[in-house]
Amino acid sequence: MTENHQGNVPSRQRKRFPGISSRAYEHPADRSALVALRKLSGFDTAFKALSGLLPERSLRLLFLSDSVRVSDAQFSQLNDMLRDACYILDLEKVPSMYVTQDPKPNAMCIGMDEPVIVVTTGLVELLDEEEMRAVIGHEVGHALSGHAVYRTILLFLTSLALKIAWVPLGTVAITAIVTALREWFRKSELSADRAGLLVGQDVQASMRGLMKIAGGNHLHEMNVDAFLAQADEYEKAGDLRDSVLKILNVLPRSHPFTTVRAAELKKWSESRDHQRIMDGHYPRRSEDKDTSVTDAFRESAGHYAETVRTSKDPLMKLVGDIAGGAGDLAGDLGGRLRNRFSGQGTGQGTKETDGKPGSGTADGRTADGETGDGQSEG
């Protein structure tokens, strides 16, 4: 059950973003995948028609029967925050939201037909109002991006592919698919963190919320700057062995590590992209259909290249050095080949010996009539 948000206004004055496209806040890697999927006309519609094959209906009944639905009568403060978030991001309909009994702080946005937001009692009890507002904005960001739809589709495809894993190399292929999906999921979480900041418009509250999720409700014992310093230490500490361990630790996760999320969000909050959105300059949903898939992938590739170039991680630095060295070598070889073939084309090429130019002929003999053996003079 959904309701129209028109007429509801935020509880305090915040900037609103009429018609904002999710492309405004999406991480480049997340955006490129979503742009490509959105271009597949009818793709998500076809799978929505197959929603009876998915556990979505069962989950809706489960939450309806064994959780508390947020409304004006139940968890009214959360209901106000939800309507505020939808108003700020201009989401046409307010998703249903449930509070479910679970001591572990968590939240999720699921569903193909109509998104459903679920928050746990552990999260409600852990966060203050402004921190919770950022979390609800995070989940509304998932809904606006269509993450719930596309995640469900791809998980369904993964489940289907598992049934044919007996095919030769099937296990390798499935592992590759799952690994790629998890990488996208992690980037989609960074996108949703940005949406949460656009809704809450309080970067310190966003930082506190992430810090509490990592360390619990002992705010007086924690410090945001020290927490962010952990992320910096995590990125640059250790040697190549630690770099490999980081990769192995993150591969099975659907979310990035909390300190990494905090550092990424802080960096984005200080970026020109964020400032432009706050100034009212952002892509509109009405322009989504004209978005270039090629441009989106090019931006994603550029982001990863920049990440490798600026990373303090030992392995990423090595990759960057190797790539840079290979590029220099390729450029040097290319220059030499161009010079050589250019000289042959005119029949007046030069022979370099320890950097000294010498006269030569088209048949490879030296000027005194001897055949050059390629050895340099002493």
| Residues labelled as active-site residues | 139
Backbone torsions φ then ψ of 365, nearest 5 degrees: -85, 150
Contact (Cβ atoms closer than 8 angstroms) between residue 69 and residue 98: yes
Contact (Cβ atoms closer than 8 angstroms) between residue 143 and residue 109: yes
C-alpha 278/C-alpha 148 separation (Å) is 26
In the chain the first and final C-alpha atoms are separated, in Å, by 88
Residue whose entry in the numeric block shows the structure tokens 């049934």: 163
Please name the residues in contact with 119: beta carbons below 8 A apart, sequence gap of 6 or more.
Answer: 78, 97, 98, 99, 100, 106, 107, 135, 136, 139
Please name the residues in contact with 141: beta carbons below 8 A apart, sequence gap of 6 or more.
Answer: 22, 25, 89, 191, 192, 194, 195, 196, 198, 199
Contact (Cβ atoms closer than 8 angstroms) between residue 282 and residue 24: yes
C-alpha 309/C-alpha 319 separation (Å) is 9
Please name the residues in contact with 223: beta carbons below 8 A apart, sequence gap of 6 or more.
Answer: none
Q: What is the DSSP letter of 365?
A: B
C-alpha 132/C-alpha 240 separation (Å) is 38
For residue 104, give the 3-state DSSP assignment.
coil
Could you tell me how many helices (H) and strands (E) the chain has, helices first? 15, 8
Contact (Cβ atoms closer than 8 angstroms) between residue 158 and residue 181: yes
Q: What is the CA radius of gyration of the chain?
A: 28
